[in-house]
Amino acid sequence: MQTTIYYFLQVVFCSAIMMGYYWLVLRDKQFHQYNRFYLLMVAGFSWLVPLIKIQLNGTNISEDTNIYYLLSAVADNNTVIESNLKFNWYNLSWQNGLKLLYAGGVLFLLTGFFVSLFRIYQLFKLNKVRSLGEIDLVITNAKGTPYSFFRYIFWNEAIDLSSATGQQILQHEITHVKEKHSFDKIFMQLILIAGWFNPFFWLIKKELHMIHEFIADKKSVDNGDTASLAQMLLAAAYPQHQFNLTNPFFFSPIKRRIAMLTKQQHSRFSYLRRLVVLPLLAITIILVAFRNTETTQPISVETVMENIYEDISGKPVASVVPLNITLKNTYTIVINAGHGGADKGGVGVDGKSTEAALTLELANTIKSLNQNNRLNLVFTRSADESQSVAEIATIANKANPDLFVSLHYNSSKNNQLSGTEIYIANPIKTNSYNSHLQFANQLANDLDDLKIPFKGIKSKQEGVYVLQNVNCPSVLVEAGYLSNQVDLEKIKSPQFREQLAVALLNGIQKYILAKESGKLVNPEPLYLLDGKIVDKSVFNSINPNSIKSVEVLKANKALEAFGDQGKNGVIKVTLKSPNDKMLEGGQVFSAVQEEPKFNGGKEAWIAFLNKNLKKEIPIEKGGPPGKYTVVLSFIIDTKGKVSNVEAENDPGYGTAEEAVRVMKLSPNWIPAKQNGKPVVYKHKHTITYMISED
C-alpha cells in the first residue's frame, strides 16, 4: 500500500511542477496546438516519470563537483524516502479506508464514462442521421447540443443550419472532428479514472477543453469577428431562449474565448516560452528519478500494478511477505537451525514435536520468504543431521558472515512459561558486545509485534559457545516454549511460522539499513590528530581555535583506510600549521588576472604524475573499472610554494589520500598574479585515475 501511495504522490508532484509552468508561461497564449499537446504530455508523463530510476555513482558524473553534490543530495533524499516508506506505515489501520476510497472513486468515474458512451449511442440510434461526406450529422433536440464525438456532430434542430450563425457553429464542430479532439477527451477521461485523486488532472481536463474551443473558434470566425463569435456562442449554449446579454457575455469561458481571438501574438518570445519545457522536464526527472544505490525492487509499471491490485483486492501481503529494503551492499547472513540428528533438542507437550524438526522448518520458511537479493542467506544445515557447536561456528566463519542467527525453541518444567526471548554473548566473553546488543535490539522490535509475549534480551553467565566464537554480530532466538500448550500450537502453525520468519527478515534488514545510514550508536571511533592515533582525552584538550579541519570517515571508507581499527568510524583532526596562521593575517585570492601554472607546463605536470603517482591504487584497493577524479584545493604563495593541500571529494579506494600525498611533493609553481604582482592564491586542480576493464 505504501509503495502505491508514494508513487501516486510522485505523480501529483510531477504534474504540479509542469502545470505550474503552463499556468505561468503558456496559459492564454496563442500557440494552441503546442499547448494542447503539452497538456496531453503532462497527463501521460506524470505517470511515467516516477517509474524512471537512475542510479547515481561517482563514475558517471562530470568533473563539476557542484552538480555532483546537488545530484547526490537529491539521490540521497529519494533513496531514504523509498527505503523508509517500505516499513514506516506497516501497521496503520487507515490503509483499508484509503483502498476503499480509491476504488470507489475509480468505480464511480468508470461508471459515468460508460453511461456517457451509452447515452451518445442512444442519441445516435434514436435520431436521424445525415451524411456530409466524412462527417455524419445527427439531428436532435437534446439539451447541450450541438457537440461532436469523433466523426459525429449532434446538431440541435432549433439552430437554423442555413443561417450565418448556424454555418459558424457547424464549422466550429467540424474543426473539432478534423482535429480529432474526441481522442483527447477519451484519453483525459481514462487518466482521470485512474488518477482522480490528482487535482492537476482535473485542471488539465478543464484547460484542454478551453484549448479545443480556442482552436475551433479560430477556424470558425473570419478576421476576428468577435460580435459574430458572441452570437455563435449564445446560440450554441442557449438555443430557443432569449437572454440578457450582460450575464452570459461575461461568463468567464466566453470572455476567454473572445479575448483570445482579439489578442495579438508576440512571436519574439513564443519560441522561448516553448523551449523552456526541456530544462523543466530534465529538472523534474532529476528530482524524482535519481537514487544513490541500486534498488532491489524498483517502482515500475509491473510493481505498481501488482501493488494496486493487491491493495484493492485486499490480498493479505504484510503478514506473510517480508520487506524488501534497498541496501547498498550484499550481506551474508548465516542461519543456524538448532540441534539436529541424534540431538532432538526439546520435545513438545504433545510428546512428538521436536525442537530439531521445528527449527529446520523455520529456517526453510525464512529461505522461501526472503525476497531481498542483497541478503545472501547461508544455512548451517538443510537436513536432519548432527552438528557440534564447534562445527557450527566453523561453518559460519567460513562463510565470512555479516550476521549470525541461531534458531531455537524453549522448554521448561513450568508449563506456564510462554513467549520469545533473545540471547547474546556474555559481555565478559566478547569484545563486540555492543554490536551483538544493537542487532538483538532491532530483532526484538520486530519480534515484539508478534502475538506472543517477548521476554527480553539476555545473556547466560556461562556464555553460549557459538555466540562467542562466530566473528560477527550474533544472536540466539528462543521463539516460544514447546512446554506451553498455547505456544506449541502457534509454533506448529504455518501462519505463525511465516510471521516469525518475516519478523526475523525484517529485523535483519532494518539493522543493516540503520548501520549503512550511520544511525547505530557505535563504540568509540578511531581518533587521529595530525595523522597520529590519540586517545579521546587528547581530543578533548584541543584548543578549537587551533583546528584547521575535521574529517569524519564512516563505514567502508574508514575500513578501507584504516582496516579493522576503523570499523567504528574515524575522526581526523588537522591542526593549523605556522603557514596557516601566517595566511590568516593576509589576503588569499580566489580570483586573479593570471592563474598559477605548473612550472614547465602540461608536459612537465604529466611527467611529475608519472614519476610520483601510484596510478594502480584503485585496483590494489579493489575498485571497479572506471574513472576516479579527485578535486584538490591548495594554497600557492607568492614564491609558488604549495601548502594546505586538501581533497574536496573522495571517489574512494585510496584515490583521495594518494592525490593529496602526491600534491604535497609538488615543486614550486609559477605564482598567480594580480595587477602584475605575485599574490597568495587558493587554487583547484584535478587528478584523474583511469582504470580499464582489461
Residue 248: closest CA among 232, 260, 261, 264 = 232
* pLDDT tens column, 189-246: 999 999 999 999 999 998 988 888 888 777 766 544 555 655 555 544 444 433 333 3
Query: Do 615 and 556 fall into the same domain?
Result: no
Ordered DSSP codes for 51-73: G--EE--GGGS-S-HHHHHHHHH
Q: Output the nine-digit C-alpha cell for 133.
A: 461526406
Q: Output the nine-digit C-alpha cell for 653.
A: 579506494
* pLDDT tens column, 591-600: 889 999 999 9
Cβ atoms 683, 672 nearer than 8 A: yes
Which residues span the domain enclosing 487?
319-516
* pLDDT tens column, 399-432: 999 999 999 999 998 888 999 999 988 776 777 8
The whole-number pLDDT of residue 229 equals 57
Query: Sorting pLDDT into bands at 50, 70 and 90, what band is 160?
Result: confident
Number of domains in the chain: 4
Domain boundary among 559, 576, 593: 576
Query: Do 191 and 85 fall into the same domain?
Result: yes
Give the number of other Cβ atoms within 10 Å of residue 199's Cβ.
13
The whole-number pLDDT of residue 531 equals 79
Query: Do 446 and 475 fall into the same domain?
Result: yes
| Range of 21-35, 158-172, 540-554 with top mean pLDDT | 21-35
Stronger pLDDT, 592 or 168, i.e. the higher one: 592
* pLDDT tens column, 681-692: 999 999 999 887
Domain boundary among 576, 599, 617: 576
The whole-number pLDDT of residue 279 equals 73
CATH of the domain at 499: 3.40.630.40
Stronger pLDDT, 561 or 666, i.e. the higher one: 666
Residue 469 CA: distances (Å) to CA of 394, 473, 475, 484, 522 = 9, 10, 12, 31, 21
Q: Is residue 258 part of a domain?
A: yes
Query: Do 554 and 477 fall into the same domain?
Result: no
Check pLDDT > 70 for residue 465. Answer: yes
Query: Do 585 and 553 fall into the same domain?
Result: no
Query: Do 467 and 598 fall into the same domain?
Result: no
Check pLDDT > 80 for residue 174. Answer: yes
Ordered DSSP codes for 21-33: HIIIIITT-S-HH
Q: What is the largest CA-CA distance in the chain?
A: 105
> ω before 146 within 30° of 0 (cis)?
yes
Query: Sorting pLDDT into bands at 50, 70 and 90, what band is 91?
Result: very low
Query: Do 86 and 171 fall into the same domain?
Result: yes
Cβ atoms 594, 687 nearer than 8 A: no
Q: Is residue 427 part of a domain?
A: yes
Query: Do 30 and 98 fall into the same domain?
Result: yes
Check pLDDT > 60 for residue 639. Answer: yes
* pLDDT tens column, 7-31: 888 889 889 888 888 888 888 787 7
Q: Is residue 555 part of a domain?
A: yes
The whole-number pLDDT of residue 694 equals 62
Find the mean pLDDT for residues 136-141.
86
Query: Do 582 and 693 fall into the same domain?
Result: yes
Find the mean pLDDT for residues 268-284.
66
Residue 654: closest CA among 508, 553, 514, 580 = 553
Q: Is residue 298 part of a domain?
A: no
Stronger pLDDT, 92 or 613, i.e. the higher one: 613
Q: How far apart are CA 371 and CA 323, in angstroms?
A: 8
Q: Is residue 310 part of a domain?
A: no
Query: Do 566 and 585 fall into the same domain?
Result: no
Q: Is residue 313 part of a domain?
A: no
CA trace torsion 256, 258, 264, 266 (10° rounding): 30
CATH of the domain at 680: 3.30.2420.10
Check pLDDT > 90 for residue 367. Answer: yes
The whole-number pLDDT of residue 232 equals 55
Query: Do 125 and 16 fall into the same domain?
Result: yes
**Residue whose C-alpha cell is 585515475:** 689
Find the mean pLDDT for residues 627-634.
91
Check pLDDT > 80 for residue 345. Answer: yes
Query: Do 403 and 355 fall into the same domain?
Result: yes
Q: Is residue 197 part of a domain?
A: yes
Q: Is residue 308 part of a domain?
A: no
The whole-number pLDDT of residue 303 equals 53
Q: How far apart are CA 438 and CA 521, in angstroms?
A: 8
Pairing of strands 677-679, 570-575: unpaired
Domain boundary among 466, 492, 516: 516
pLDDT over 70 percentage in the chain: 74
Check pLDDT > 70 for residue 492. Answer: yes
Find the mean pLDDT for residues 111-133.
86
pLDDT over 90 percentage in the chain: 32
